[in-house]
Amino acid sequence: MRLDRLGASHPTRLSFLRTLIRRATREGWRVRRAEWAVCDAGYGHAVYSVETPRRTYGLVAFSTPLEDSRRTDRVIAEAWDTSYVLYDGVPDADEIARLRQNAPLQEAGRYCARDLVLARANKSVRLFDAVVDALAKGEQPDAAFLASVGYLMRTTAVYGNGKFGIADRDAIAERPELSGPFQAEMLTVWLIRSFTIDLVEHVAARRAPGRAARLSPTGRRGLGVGNATGLGMAPFLVRHPVLMHNWFHAREAALARVRSQPTASGGAQAVFMAGLAAMRDKVRIWRTADIRQAEAIAALDADLAMIERIAVGLFRRAALPWDALYRFAEANFSLEGQEATVALILEPHGDLIDDLAETMAADENASFRIDGAMSCGALKALIARDYAWTRRYDFSQEQANARFWYVSAEKLEPRLGERLSEPGAEREQPLAIARDIAALSRALETEPAPIAVANFLLRHPEWRHVIRRAQITARHPYAEIRDNLTDAGMRPIDLLRSKLAFFGANRFDPRSDRWLRISLFASEPFPEDIVAARESGAVS
């Protein structure tokens, strides 16, 4: 649970987009383009309906003209090429009109309880135009160029859980199809991917009626949805310790189950080797200008080549072959290679581990209440046991307390400030967990051990959030990122990558220490593919 390891995270079969696709395949979800009102230039709206066994949802997509000068991935943007709402049901004309007035405005609009997710995406202009040009000529776009970008559009925000008036998570948490973490958001992005393909083919077809080509199945399959993610996502993992515990606990439980398998069946070996080959292909097209990430990718490439050389021998000889492979990676590979190995050895074991995906949601209310009857002595013991890692830091040093997290008045979004050179530290958000735990420990030093926490809190309400956290962590050992989030050298993108890997993201491309680009759903099936997969029994 250290930042450098989180910053090397890879998606696994427990990642949320994989969970979504498995359920959609298993339950035979039907996705159809219910409405297409898009002009020759590619502007207008479309509706995609998703029929699940219990309910129907609709993605409403709007495409609007955007001057190049206004196209930005930053949260300060005020207009986007496309905007989206995942709607509870299939919207009628009045509802589409309402959404047309609001969705293109994003945060400046207001939404209602039928609106489940709000999102926007900008074109990758170079690729979008190049694909239109090629298809309009009746040709396929250059495969290398297609692969080098990997998406026609990238989202710059996907909002759920009550933001700007949309439905609360409570409203969908009991629905099996959306009860897992971020399933509504993943469904939205999956449908956005289909819309981007339909849009590029539509524009090409209108430019060259009767002559334009459609994207080849291989070309389509390789395209995902890009995403640009900045600091806004970073505090999430810190603010939701129980949820984070559940995510990591599921992953670790899956790994433990697989490592304890006494043999590696022929079928499992075949799936593993296919996954390894696919990952090597992805690594070959994984581009980044970030020197550190480029070095990590090179190390990963070498690690994967090593796996290719040793895997078959290990499978034949080792008593616990998957455990042996994991241990070999742990001893010999880069962090990137170790995390990739975890993803690879989980891949062939769906029957063994996929049930764990059902344990990754969290009822955070159940852990909210403080145990005030606990003695201060017992609390001190908990902190000594669970937060020994905070002793690594000396918070009297500027380095350890160099930064502060805050919410910007301008955009109401999380930001990271420099404590010594920027104003606002007195309005710091409570995310300096290591520092605050260390300070609480000092405060407890003078407190008699038998005193109840309730009495301590009556005199010291400033420690309430820290004590709540310590008590949560006592019951949820994966709740805490065991690093100092205010350190001068802390890299927020490590937090982002971890969360994005749980989503199922690939092609992590850091653009600085505080934002990165990724791709979602590349190489995954489209909704129309899952019908065929279900009929052939190929559900993975």
Partner 1 sequence: MTELSLNEVESLAAKVGRGSGFSWGLAEEIGRSARQLAQGGFPWADALLALAEKAGAMQTPSPAQTKQWRARQSEMGSTASLCPIRTAVLLIDDPAILRAAPLHLSNVGLPIWIAGVLAASNAAGGLEVAWSTASALVDRQGVIPKAPGGAWLTPAADVKISPGTAPQRRLRPLLRAPVADVVLTALASHAARVYVPASESSRAKGAGGGSVDEE
Please report, as residue ranges, which positions from 149 to 168 form the binding site for partner 1 (by CB under 8 A).
Answer: 149, 156, 161-168
- Min separation Cβ 470 and partner 1, Å: 12
Stretch that binds partner 1, among 87-95, 189-197, 214-222, 416-424 (CB under 8 A): 416-424
Q: Does 377 bind partner 1 (CB under 8 A)?
A: no
- Give per-residue burial for 292-307: e unless 16+ CB within 10 Å, then b: ebeebbebbbebbebb
Binding mask 126-145 for partner 1 (x = CB under 8 A): xx------------------
Burial class (CB in 10 A: 0-12, 13-18, 19+), 79: middle
Closest CA to 7 of 510, 388, 392: 510
CA distance 229 to 513: 11
Q: Does 430 bind partner 1 (CB under 8 A)?
A: yes
**Residue among 294 and 452 whose Cβ is closer to partner 1:** 452
| Binds partner 1 by CB under 8 A, chosen from 295, 512, 528, 532 | 512
**Residue among 153 and 297 whose Cβ is closer to partner 1:** 153
Q: Does 292 bind partner 1 (CB under 8 A)?
A: no
Interacting residues of 245 by C-beta distance below 8 A, sequence separation 6+? 362, 476, 477, 478, 479
- Give per-residue burial for 257-273: e unless 16+ CB within 10 Å, then b: ebbebeebeeebbebbb
**Residue among 331 and 366 whose Cβ is closer to partner 1:** 366
| Binds partner 1 by CB under 8 A, chosen from 282, 349, 415, 507 | 415
Contact indicator for 216, 140 with CB cutoff of 8 Å: yes
- If one counts every other C-beta atom within 10 angstroms of the C-beta of residue 475, the result is 13
Dihedrals phi, psi of 525, to nearest 5 degrees: -65, 155
Provide the H-helix boundaries in 460-491. Answer: 464-475
Angle CA 403–408–414, to nearest 5:
60
Question: What are 106's two structure tokens?
Answer: 């994003």
Q: Does 258 bind partner 1 (CB under 8 A)?
A: no
- Min separation Cβ 332 and partner 1, Å: 34
| Binds partner 1 by CB under 8 A, chosen from 33, 221, 259, 511 | 511
Q: Does 447 bind partner 1 (CB under 8 A)?
A: no
The three-class DSSP label of residue 416 is strand
| Binds partner 1 by CB under 8 A, chosen from 467, 481, 505, 520 | 467
- Min separation Cβ 368 and partner 1, Å: 7
- Min separation Cβ 136 and partner 1, Å: 21
**Residue among 171 and 318 whose Cβ is closer to partner 1:** 171
Angle CA 109–113–114, to nearest 5:
95
**Residue among 110 and 392 whose Cβ is closer to partner 1:** 110
CA distance 110 to 167: 11
Q: Does 249 bind partner 1 (CB under 8 A)?
A: no
- Min separation Cβ 73 and partner 1, Å: 4
Dihedrals phi, psi of 60, to nearest 5 degrees: -100, 120
Q: Does 375 bind partner 1 (CB under 8 A)?
A: no
Distances (CA, A) of 224 to 175, 364, 530: 27, 32, 16
Radius of gyration of the chain from its Cα atoms, rounded to whole angstroms: 24
- Min separation Cβ 457 and partner 1, Å: 6
Q: Does 463 bind partner 1 (CB under 8 A)?
A: yes
Considering only residues 225 to 244 of the shown chain, the ones binding partner 1 according to CB under 8 A are 228-232
- Min separation Cβ 440 and partner 1, Å: 11
Stretch that binds partner 1, among 30-38, 84-92, 466-474, 498-506 (CB under 8 A): 466-474
Considering only residues 166 to 225 of the shown chain, the ones binding partner 1 according to CB under 8 A are 166-171
Stretch that binds partner 1, among 19-27, 379-387, 459-467, 483-491 (CB under 8 A): 459-467
Question: How far out from the chain centre does Cα 511 lie?
Answer: 17
Q: Does 100 bind partner 1 (CB under 8 A)?
A: no
Considering only residues 350 to 369 of the shown chain, the ones binding partner 1 according to CB under 8 A are 365-366, 368-369
Query: DSSP code of 486?
Result: T
